[in-house]
A = this chain, B = another copy of it.
Amino acid sequence: MTIKEVSEKYGITQDTLRYYERVGMIPTVSRTAGGIRNYNETDLSWVELAICMRSAGLPVEAMIEYVKLYQMGDSTFAARLQLLQAQREILLEQKKQVEATIDRLNYKIARYQLAVETGKLSWDKE
């Protein structure tokens, strides 16, 4: 699969794909004889993982660390486990924050819906 196809498949620019590879967020992608990227199944699953992590807001650095451990082989299982657990903790916290903010927005939205109807905002600040 060419870089163009991959970029279209995942809705991410080719520049970003090259960037991910360059900084080590995914392992080096396989190439054609001419040196052109030719993503195989494994490459794609790394890309997918990277996109998943990034779109949840996890730092690039964490993925780089994970890839490094992966490349060091079976002796890093425990370290990888620890890394994944730490990232999960961050996300659980993040989820809480997002939910709290959604609640807050819901409250404000309800008040503004009333305000738009009546022309007056009920008792308040901000």
The CA-CA distance from A91 to B106 in the complex, in Å, is 11
**Chain A: interface residue total (CB-CB under 8 A):** 45
Majority-rule SS of A interface residues: helix
A81-94 vs B: 1/0 string, CB under 8 Å? 10011011001101
Copies in the complex: 2
A4 within 8 A of B: no
Q: Write out the residue numbers on chain B whose beta carbons fall within 8 Å of the beta carbon of A95.
A: 95, 98-99, 102
What is the interface of chain A, defined by CB distance below 8 A to chain B? 41-42, 45-46, 49, 52-53, 55-58, 70, 74, 77-78, 80-81, 84-85, 87-88, 91-92, 94-95, 97-102, 104-106, 108-109, 112-113, 115-116, 119-121, 125-126
